[in-house]
Amino acid sequence: MPKILTVGEILVELIATTKGDGFHEPQPLIGPYPSGAPAIFVNQVGRLGGDAAIIGRVGDDNFGHLNIARLARDGIDVSGIEVAQGEVTGCAFVRYREDGSRSFVFTMAQSATAALSITGAGASLMESCDHIHIMGTALSASGMAEVAMEAVVRIKARGGSLSFDPNIRPEILDTPGLRARLDGVLDQTDIFLPSGNELFMLTGARDEASAIRVLLERGIREIVLKRGAEGASHFDADGRTDIAPLTVEEIDPTGAGDCFGGAFVTLRLAGATPFEALRLANAAGARAVTRTGPMEGSSTRAELDRFLADHETDY
Ligand code: ADP
């Protein structure tokens, strides 16, 4: 099976145990949970037995080592994670509002991640991996973006493939250079995994069918649209396949899309049909929302099979 590489932020998440808007008074918190969209994605690949690596940068502190230990435990090649002496690992403080939306305090821009650059270990992973998975967040900061774009160029030049999850919030779309980088990656994408409005933000189309047509005409082989609690859809030159959501109690939605993507990409690269990959990815996303902690809900194949056996009767 091809070795999968991703690039980007590795951080910890601390979650307020009370609901409300933001952090205006002392809050009881749980965590630290290992986190960062690319880290969650790659952890899901590893839990399914995929061969994967991540290029990232953490501080020489408990939070950094906690992440490295978790990823290594799940079989990820952590040789591309640089441990920066005297720097700190990024944190995300999260508090849920009563309506289920979230407010965040991030320290990523001040953390070791911000100074990511191409190291010898990173360069050698770009030579040994056959597939690159790009997260839009990795394109939003200059250091990470430079490494991510270099990985895209090198892996595609060797005939490798690319999956892309834009994972982008509208408020960062105006970041200088981001639009051009998103477009540059989209031009090289084989499997595109947008959710919600990202389809429209990146194509300029007004309806779903036009957006999908634009993307297929652009040369993207497969588009997998994540629809949260509504399930997911797959589009390619042969047409469209929908998958109904599994009925679950949503505890913590952070990481669902990353687990979905990790499962879909791993299974497709391992030779599963689009429908089988969609079915298991839909289960990986649904199972992820039932666990507290962004990376805590990533699943092994046995866990997904059991989860499907328990929930698929809902169809
Ligand atoms: P993202 O975090 O990228 O926006 P989504 O929230 O759409 O991703 O979640 C990814 C996938 O996980 C969905 O397409 C669906 O398959 C599954 N999923 C997410 N939330 C739920 C839910 N509440 N119930 C059932 N499945 C869910």
Tens of pLDDT, residue by residue over 207-247, are 999 999 999 999 999 999 999 999 999 999 999 999 999 99
**pLDDT of the residue at 67:** 98
Mutate which of 282, 298, 315 for ligand 1 pocket (most atoms within 8 A of beta carbon): 282
| Residue range 21-41: mean pLDDT, rounded | 96
CA of 141 to the centre of ligand 1 (A): 26
Backbone angles phi, psi at 250, to 5 degrees: -80, 120
**pLDDT of the residue at 169:** 78
CB crowding 284-306: b at 16 or more within 10 Å, else e: bbbbbbbbebbbbbbbeeebbee
Report if residue 30 sits inside a domain: no
| Residue range 86-98: mean pLDDT, rounded | 96
**pLDDT of the residue at 176:** 87
Which residue's CA is the closest to the ligand 1 atom numbered 12? 285
**pLDDT of the residue at 172:** 79
Report if residue 103 sits inside a domain: no
CA of 118 to the centre of ligand 1 (A): 33
Report if residue 26 sits inside a domain: no
Indicate which atom in ligand 1 lies nearest the CA of residue 246: 25
Selected residue with higher pLDDT from 307 and 170: 307
Structural domains of the chain, count: 1
pLDDT at 314 over 60: no
| Residue range 101-127: mean pLDDT, rounded | 95
Report if residue 54 sits inside a domain: yes
**ipTM (interface predicted TM):** 0.99
Report the CATH number that the domain containing residue 146 is assigned in CATH.
3.40.1190.20
CA of 169 to the centre of ligand 1 (A): 16
**pLDDT of the residue at 173:** 80
**pLDDT of the residue at 142:** 87
Selected residue with higher pLDDT from 174 and 78: 78
Is the CB of 64 within 6 Å of ligand 1?
A: no
Selected residue with higher pLDDT from 172 and 70: 70
- How far apart (Å, rounded) are the C-alpha atoms in residues 281 and 273? 12
Is the CB of 297 within 6 Å of ligand 1?
A: no
Domain interval for residue 47 = 36-82+118-314
Report if residue 224 sits inside a domain: yes
**pLDDT of the residue at 87:** 98
Report if residue 261 sits inside a domain: yes
CA of 255 to the centre of ligand 1 (A): 9
Residues 262-304 pLDDT 10s? 999 999 999 999 999 999 999 999 999 999 999 999 999 999 9
**pLDDT of the residue at 52:** 98
Of 91, 90, 92, residue with least CA distance to 112? 90
pLDDT at 315 over 60: no
Is the CB of 257 within 6 Å of ligand 1?
A: yes
**pLDDT of the residue at 123:** 98
Q: Tell how strand 232-236 and strand 11-16 pair up.
A: unpaired
| Residue range 142-166: mean pLDDT, rounded | 97
Which residue's CA is the closest to the ligand 1 atom numbered 14? 226
Q: Tell how strand 90-96 and strand 102-106 pair up.
A: antiparallel
Is the CB of 285 within 6 Å of ligand 1?
A: yes
Report if residue 31 sits inside a domain: no
CA of 168 to the centre of ligand 1 (A): 15
**pLDDT of the residue at 116:** 97
**pLDDT of the residue at 170:** 75
Report if residue 8 sits inside a domain: no
- How far apart (Å, rounded) are the C-alpha atoms in residues 121 and 137? 22
Which residue's CA is the closest to the ligand 1 atom numbered 10? 257
| Residue range 87-98: mean pLDDT, rounded | 96
**pLDDT of the residue at 268:** 98
Q: Is residue 131 within a helix (H) or strand (E), and if so which, with residue range?
A: strand 131-135
Where residue 77 falls among pLDDT bands split at 50, 70, 90? very high
Q: Tell how strand 161-165 and strand 81-84 pair up.
A: unpaired
In the chain, the percentage of residues whose pLDDT exceeds 70 is: 99
Please say whether the beta carbons of 118 and 146 come within 8 A.
yes
Indicate which atom in ligand 1 lies nearest the CA of residue 248: 24
**pLDDT of the residue at 59:** 98
Please say whether the beta carbons of 166 and 136 come within 8 A.
yes
Which residue's CA is the closest to the ligand 1 atom numbered 22? 229
Where residue 1 falls among pLDDT bands split at 50, 70, 90? confident
